[in-house]
Amino acid sequence: MNKTCVCRYCGKVFTAWHERSCCNDCLKTEEEEFSRIENYLKRYPNSNAIQIAEGLEISPFNVVRFIDEGRLSIRKGEFKEIKGGKK
């Protein structure tokens, strides 16, 4: 059964076998964005999704989406831990 999906980058509506948030045209954009996040996390390992999004000027929802997909190892729900100061 095909699902109707909306691309988070270009807003295009498309169908896919399983739910996806990125159309084929934007796969490259997604990959680039993901590697930028990875690089950012190497520099600032304790960043939360909001900080990453601000640092890279991308949507926090895109960062959260990578977390939801299990591609990023930072945890959800750390939004309030902005500059906690403890480690």
- Using CB under 5 A as the criterion, which residues of the chain lie in contact with Zn ion when the complex forms? 7, 9-10, 12, 23, 25-26
Let me know the angle formed at the C-alpha of 43 by 23 and 56, rounded to the nearest 5 degrees: 40
Shorter beta-carbon distance to Zn ion: residue 27 or 82: 27
- Smallest gap from residue 31 Cβ to Zn ion (A): 13
Shorter beta-carbon distance to Zn ion: residue 18 or 87: 18
- Smallest gap from residue 47 Cβ to Zn ion (A): 26
Distance of CA 78 to the CA centre of its chain: 15
Shorter beta-carbon distance to Zn ion: residue 1 or 13: 13
Q: Are 41 and 52 in contact (CB under 8 A)?
A: yes
Mark out the alpha helices in 1-87 (DSSP H runs).
27-43, 49-56, 60-68
- Smallest gap from residue 21 Cβ to Zn ion (A): 9
